[in-house]
Amino acid sequence: MLTVPAGAAEAAEAGASDTAAVAAAPNFKAPYPCGQRWTYSHHSAEVRRALDFVRADGGTTNGTPALASAAGTATRHSQPSGAGNYISIDHGGGWKTYYFHLGSYSVASGQFVNQGQQIGTTGSSGNSSGPHLHYEQLLNGVGQNIVINGGGLPYPGSYNQSFLTSDNGCGGGGGTPFMTWGTGVSVRADARLNAAVVTRLPGPTSVHVVCQKQGDTVNAEGYSNNWWSKLRDQGGFISNIYIDHPAAQLPGVPIC
Ligand SMILES: [Zn+2]
């Protein structure tokens, strides 16, 4: 809201900060197209903290685009006895993602890719029992537990226990544009003050709000509001207090 001085947001949010490691990670999204529902599992003999994904929405896994889960610099690799045709993406800050067993490459080595950009097609190249997308997140070369949109995924031992619907690449005009105000505003994985911090908005930011929902009540500078906006490009929620609009519930924005 316009009448509250910048800086107040930071103070209001200061009591609910998260670890630097969480804040530093890119806002990874599912490595396959918007709206698709896939299931995933982790095998005991698997390398690092990989998850293997197959489609669970009736579509065919083989040939489905593999998408960059965050922006970065792509590199092609080939390991016929193991990972097959695969892409690594260097996201900076020590973070990389891997995409194994591709049927084909869609980008050149050294090419910068945006989040949601197609990097290849899902396949079964290398040591693979069938078409699937083997996906990893690494920090300084060490496999990490996979986090999508700020939330950690479980590691089930077989398929059809856990599912993930992609919102990667759902942009392209989606959402309603607003400005935010304040500095250091936390974007959280859910509409709760104790939800993980996905990223922070350093200052007033142009955002696209895809939907809104009611969550924890936020009190700041005399305002009280339990509505939160889901931001398209940041992949998380901010209190509607920090959206530069006088209404508590934003007009023309659907409910999540
Ligand atoms: Zn695998």
Q: What is the CATH number of the domain that holds 105?
A: 2.70.70.10
164 bridge partner residues: 38
Judge if pTM exceeds 0.75: no
**Of the residues 165, 184, 205, which one is the last residue of a structural domain?**
165
| Per-residue confidence band for 75, with pLDDT thresholds at 50, 70 and 90 | very high
Surrounding residues of ion ligand 1, Cβ less than 5 A: 50, 52, 134
116 and 157 co-located in one domain: yes
- Bridge-based pairing state of the strands 51-55 and 84-92: unpaired
Q: Which domain holds residue 202?
A: 8-21+171-242
133 and 194 co-located in one domain: no
Query: Over 50: is that where the pLDDT of 116 sits?
Result: yes
Distance between Cα 52 and ligand 1 center (Å): 5
| Per-residue confidence band for 14, with pLDDT thresholds at 50, 70 and 90 | very low
- Lowest mean per-residue pLDDT among 54-58, 120-124, 175-179, 213-217: 175-179
Distance between Cα 136 and ligand 1 center (Å): 9
Write down the mean pLDDT value for the chain: 87
Q: Residue 117: what pLDDT?
A: 85
- Lowest mean per-residue pLDDT among 19-23, 86-90, 207-211: 19-23
| Per-residue confidence band for 23, with pLDDT thresholds at 50, 70 and 90 | very low
**Of the residues 165, 194, 210, which one is the last residue of a structural domain?**
165
pLDDT tens per residue, range 194-204: 999 988 988 88
157 and 179 co-located in one domain: no
Distances (CA, A) of 102 to 3, 47, 57, 164, 190: 52, 17, 20, 20, 32
Q: Evaluate whether residue 254 is within a structural domain.
A: no
Distance between Cα 92 and ligand 1 center (Å): 24
Distance between Cα 141 and ligand 1 center (Å): 17
34 and 153 co-located in one domain: yes
Distance (Å, whole) CA 115 – CA 197: 19
67 and 186 co-located in one domain: no
Q: Evaluate whether residue 1 is within a structural domain.
A: no
Distance between Cα 22 and ligand 1 center (Å): 25
Q: What is the DSSP string of 178-223?
A: EEB-SSSEEEESSSSTTSPEEEEE-SS-EEEEEEEEEEEEEEETTE
Distance between Cα 50 and ligand 1 center (Å): 6
Distance between Cα 109 and ligand 1 center (Å): 22
Q: Residue 9: what pLDDT?
A: 39
